Structure 1
């Protein structure tokens, strides 16, 4: 039975509320979305051979559950996540968080209770991704983007920094004409965002592209994002949208472009999407007065 989006959103916001008091709202996303990502990958791939991710004993969400209530829970969670990332060569791909951070999560029993409470929220059957599916709807990726907006509202940060409204992304994706391409021999089509943010615009544009007879994408995804933490969120977002082969690199695109050809020149791409924000207003979950360019 597929979980309702509203139910999933409610549960994830419950997890964010566990962090109130000590953790700045701007940091909620790092903790909650790291656990969302890990729970999703663990449920989907644990015990599977030849899967996209290696999830073995000692590096799964079940091991986080076993750490609940332990005095050293923060240290245990950090080790489990670190082992998973190392096993899958994903070091640096997640936001920089530590579940043993006493400055943010408190000391002693306070830290134990907060981290235990976070893990407990993700034990809810509604977030069992082994069995819950939404036919024709990428509910996990959508939840990720929903919380990008919620966290931006909570933190008061510039809304365009992390989150591009899905409606605007879909319009942009259609404007660039990527839906009209056909498979070609030799190399796939390429899609690039030089200011990738959370990756939502890249994802929507790639969704518009056709697939080949085997159902595989005929577009390769590339992005660059100057903020390291945001780049990590974009990488998670690609995975949650089943686009984990996409590349996201860090540093400022203008000051230090990371994509060059064999001659050291700037690499050329078939499609480039970029957003330009002038003034953004989020009110009642709607966005107005934004300016987009492709």
Structure 2
């Protein structure tokens, strides 16, 4: 598929999303359109898989008569295989295209109840299987009886039937297993919703250009990863971005507090072809109720909520994640609590990269204590990268990336990169282009010193700065202004004054000729 065809698919899906929107806000119609796309994906995947099984019998899945004895035997055999391979099951009558055709037939069939039942049946098909947790309440945010879709049942039925019809006309190219066309289009939609969601966007989406930087950094020097973890995984986009940088990721782990976003993350994983046994996404507050305790991960990435509040409960001083530091991150700013949590989970050969506000670089108190411990006692901090302001949805503040390793190749210094001026302004947002991303990543990987861009600070230099990591202390970006030749400026002013006097004389002559007073 060409880039133009890919963009065409993205635009088609976005147009359908806007048709559904009506008076709903971005959050609400996002859940419906992404849910319908996911249902279509599951149905098409089911049909392709079933047709492959039935190929030797020279029949098609959708042609099976479900109520005949022969049909029931086929259904049972396919269901058993499908639950093991795909993790779920749909009957021929429950396929997306079937319900779309019924909803848009001449009789204008009422499909809402059947559609709600099908979405429930997808979940029920997994009960008692290994995929049960991955499909549990996956469609709970799609209330087809919500008045937001229409005041009457008939109005709701009409709009949903219309959306299903338009989606049914789109070819997701699932037969072409080497292409992730739908996955890319899904990511595009999530990004579009994020751009219109204001402050809430940061809860579920990291801008793709920032994701690329994090992903490229944590995969440096590696073709395969045993595991990747995101403790605040949102829609799962950052985890999936890491997978694009290597040949294979054995296992994906994530935790997300928001229930709706947690559902979106699981959908996103499945839709990108990640087998249900290869991902473990949990729904809970990561700091208060961690779900992966004791596990270590080869790559860790995160874009946690900036300066979020947390309990900072004194009981956490005996928690393995925080106990060695002697102090907890302040309750009003959980930034370093996330850092400590991630370091606890970082494998000895691992790399972690976390996006945080600049305050973590210089704030005092408990944060200074933790910062000093990480550098002086542990020597885990590998690099500090300053990003441009206004690149995140919902906030214009400048941010930074902190990179940590337990076994550093260059333990004698810490690399500072000031990438704050490398961006392109697009409407109200600053964007990082490929050349900006490539420069950041190459500078980090090669630990290159570039005038006014990067600097390798010794541990002694950092200690002399009282462990203040503010980037301008290490990267001098001061631009000397050209000296002004005062004599030349004065001469120029005198010339202009003389010209003005001449003009005044000429104008006075014209006024006299016209009989006017100058």
> Residues 171 and 282 of structure 1: is their aligned pair in 2 closer, same or farther, counting only changes over 3 Å?
closer
Q: Does residue 233 of the first structure (1) align with residue 236 of the second (2)?
A: no
Q: Does residue 243 of the first structure (1) align with residue 274 of the second (2)?
A: yes
Say which of 150, 156, 180 aligns to 2:192. 150
Whether the aligned pair in 1 keeps the contact of 2:202 and 2:392 (CA below 8 Å) is no
What are the within-5 Å matches in structure 2 for residues 84-95 of structure 1? 84-88=122-126, 89=132, 90-94=135-139
What are the within-5 Å matches in structure 2 for residues 103-118 of structure 1? 103-118=148-163
Query: C-alpha displacement at 1:228, in angstroms?
Result: 0.8
Residue segments in structure 1 that go unaligned for 5+ positions in a row: 183-187, 212-216, 261-265
Q: Does residue 120 of the first structure (1) align with residue 157 of the second (2)?
A: no
Task: For 1:268 and 1:23, locate their aligned partners in 2 and report how far apart those are by CA, in whole Å.
Answer: 42
Q: Does residue 80 of the first structure (1) align with residue 118 of the second (2)?
A: yes
Task: For 1:288 and 1:123, locate their aligned partners in 2 and report how far apart those are by CA, in whole Å.
Answer: 42
What are the within-5 Å matches in structure 2 for residues 61-210 of structure 1? 61-68=96-103, 70=108, 72-88=110-126, 89=132, 90-94=135-139, 96-124=141-169, 126-131=170-175, 133=176, 137-177=179-219, 180=222, 189-210=226-247
**1:25-58 residue CA offsets vs partner (Å, 9 max, x unmatched):** 2112111111111111211222254442433223
Query: C-alpha displacement at 1:282, in angstroms?
Result: 6.2
> Residues 193 and 95 of structure 1: is their aligned pair in 2 closer, same or farther, counting only changes over 3 Å?
farther
Say which of 401, 406, 424 aligns to 1:292. 401
Structure with greater helix percent: 2
Residue segments in structure 2 that go unaligned for 5+ positions in a row: 54-80, 127-131, 304-354, 358-388, 404-518
Task: For 1:63 and 1:221, locate their aligned partners in 2 and report how far apart those are by CA, in whole Å.
Answer: 34
Q: Which moved more, 1:7-16 or 1:68-77?
A: 68-77
Larger radius of gyration: 2
**1:75-109 residue CA offsets vs partner (Å, 9 max, x unmatched):** 22111111122213312234511222234433133
**1:174-220 residue CA offsets vs partner (Å, 9 max, x unmatched):** 212365266xxxxx822210000111111121233334xxxxx4x21
> Residues 81 and 293 of structure 1: is their aligned pair in 2 closer, same or farther, counting only changes over 3 Å?
farther
Root mean square deviation of aligned Cα = 2.8
Q: Which runs of 4+ in 1 moved over 6 A?
A: none
Task: For 2:120 and 2:178, locate their aligned partners in 1 and report how far apart those are by CA, in whole Å.
Answer: 33
The count of corresponding residues between Structure 1 and Structure 2 is 272
2:487 — aligned with what?
none
Task: For 2:190 and 2:172, locate their aligned partners in 1 and report how far apart those are by CA, in whole Å.
Answer: 22
Q: TM-score, normalised by structure 1?
A: 0.81
2:367 — aligned with what?
none
**1:229-279 residue CA offsets vs partner (Å, 9 max, x unmatched):** 10111111111221133111111100111113xxxxx43222211123546
Q: TM-score, normalised by structure 2?
A: 0.48
Task: For 2:201 and 2:399, locate their aligned partners in 1 and report how far apart those are by CA, in whole Å.
Answer: 11
1:31 — aligned with what?
32
